[in-house]
Amino acid sequence: MTKKAERTTAYIIETVAPIFNKHGYIGTSMSDLTEATGLTKGAIYGNFENKEALALSAFEHNRNMLLQAIDNALETGNEALANIYSLLNFYKQYDAFTLPMGGCPILNVGVDAQGNNKLLAAAVKETIKDIEGKMALILENGANRNEIKLPVPPLQFAKQLFTMIQGAVAMSTMMQDRKYLVNTITYLEFLVKQELKK
């Protein structure tokens, strides 16, 4: 692939990623994509096999930005508790972080793709497992270093914590009220301290 072709492909993905994320796979029309990119249908499909491949690339673009931000949050301190607090702090501002993406890619694509796109649904599941795994590793390492006490296995705790975070994201999104997010994360900070602090 030439440099120009690579730039065009990247431009298309970056431009359409928020559109797919906001309107969903079915809800995004070809005219939405041509209007946003300023390219013809032929120019877009010259870079992607079909709409499904483009939607998957768009999700992967948003997912990679999200995973990078989560990695950054989890690598701020040396201690497990500090890293978990940093992650929770990131989620307090999650609505602002995901605004340019058209909302939370896990929530939006995860719900939208359930009945109409197996590839996208599978990509969301893998992303969730990836995030839970990152959290579990922090917890496991913290327990092994005797920094925290874990009431349940690390992955189980990570799954429950992430479920509550995503629930707050969903409620905040549906109610269009960020208090659902901020208040839940504040409660989770308290809960984490109660459950994990030695």
CB 127 within 8 A of CB 109: no
pLDDT for the residue numbered 157: 98
CB 29 within 8 A of CB 16: no
Mean pLDDT of 74-88: 91
Please report, for residues 26, 106, 118, the alpha-carbon distance to residue 20 in angstroms, rounded to integers and kept in the order given. 9, 12, 16
Domain boundaries, the chain: 3-196
Mean pLDDT of 5-20: 93
pTM value is: 0.94
pLDDT for the residue numbered 1: 60
What is the tens place of the pLDDT at every residue in 166-186?
999 999 999 999 999 999 999
Confidence class for position 5, pLDDT limits 50, 70, 90: confident
Confidence class for position 6, pLDDT limits 50, 70, 90: confident
Mean pLDDT of 91-97: 96
pLDDT for the residue numbered 46: 87
Mean pLDDT of 91-102: 96
Tell how far CA 85 is from the center of its chain.
18
Mean pLDDT of 142-150: 95
Architecture of domain 3-196: Orthogonal Bundle (1.10)
